[in-house]
Amino acid sequence: MRESVFFVSDTHFKYDGLGIDERMKRDRFISFLAGIEGASKLYLLGDIFDFWFEYRSVVPRYYRDVLDALSSLRKSGTGIFIAGGNHDFWLGSYVSETLGFTILPPLATHTIQGIKVTMTHGDDLLPGDRGYKTLKAVIRSRPAIAMARAVHPDALYAIARRFSRASKGITERKTERAAKTLLTMANDSFFRWGNDAFITGHIHYPCIERFGDRTFVILGDWERNFSFLEIREGRLSLGFYRPGEDTLIEKR
C-alpha cells in the first residue's frame, strides 16, 4: 500500500465524554487507520479534534486512543500531515515535535504521484460570512492565544464546548447549500495555482467533481458519512469507510 495517499477531515473527536456514538466513531477510525498501515501518506485536513489547544505543560488527554493509533500508523512508515481547522487551529509543538506530524499551512500545494494538489481545511472559502471571518481573525491572534493560556484548561474547554455545539447546528442546516456554492465557484476560483486538484474539508458533504482535467473534492466528514479520499497510481477515489469493506464511489 506504499503508493496510496489518503485524505480525511472533520472527524470532530469529542473531549467531553465517550458516548455510544463517539465510541463507535473512534473505533471505526482506528480500524480505518489499521487498514491503511504502510500507506505512503495520510493528510488530515482539519477539525480532526472538536477542540485542541496546547498549554506549555498541558496537552489534551481526551484523544489518547486516536493519537496512539495515528502514532502507530506513523511508525509503519506513513508520513502524517495535519492542518488546523476552525475547531483545532491551535496545533502546537506536541503535534509536530512529540508526535512527529507535519503541520500544514492554511493553504498548501504538494505534488503527489505527478498530480499538483492544493489543499486546505476550507472554512474561509465561502463568500460573505464576515462575522465569522472577523471572529476567526480575533481568536487566532497572539493576544487571544495568550489570554487563552491564562485560563484554566477545564474552563477553556467548557467555553469551547458551547461554541462547538452552536456552530455545529448552523453547519448542518447549511451543508448541502454550501457544497453546491463551492461547486459553482470551483472551476474559476480554486485552480489559480497551476494545480490539477483542489481538496477541501469543512463542508460535511462529500463530493468529487471533474472540470476537464481538473478535479475538485470536498472530503466530507466522519460524523455521518465516514468518507475519505485515496490517491493511488495517479487516480483520485472518494469513498465511504465501513469496517470490512471500503466503498469507492468514483475514480478520477
What pTM was estimated for this model as a whole?
A: 0.85
What is the 3-state secondary structure of 117-173? EEEECCCCCCCCCHHHHHHHHHHCCHHHHHHHHCCCHHHHHHHHHHHHHHHHHHHHH
**Whole-number pLDDT of residue 93:** 82
Contact 200, 45 (CB under 8 A): yes
As a whole number of angstroms, the distance between CA 56 and CA 154 comes to 15
pLDDT tens string 2-14: 789 999 999 999 8
**Other beta carbons less than 10 A from residue 58's beta carbon:** 12
pLDDT tens string 50-104: 877 676 656 667 788 999 999 999 999 999 999 988 877 778 888 888 889 999 9
Mean pLDDT on 212-227: 96
For 57, the 3-state DSSP assignment is coil
Residue 144 belongs to what H/E stretch?
helix 142-149
Mean pLDDT on 31-58: 86
CATH code for the structural domain at 5-251? 3.60.21.10
Of 43 and 129, the structure prediction assigns the larger pLDDT to 43
Phi, psi angles (nearest 5°) of residue 175: -55, -55
Dihedral angle of Cα 206, 233, 33, 94, to the nearest 10 degrees: -90
Domains of the chain, residue spans: 5-251
**Nearest partner of 200 among 80, 72, 102, 107, judged by Cα:** 107
Beta bridge partners of 13: 49
Mean pLDDT on 189-198: 96
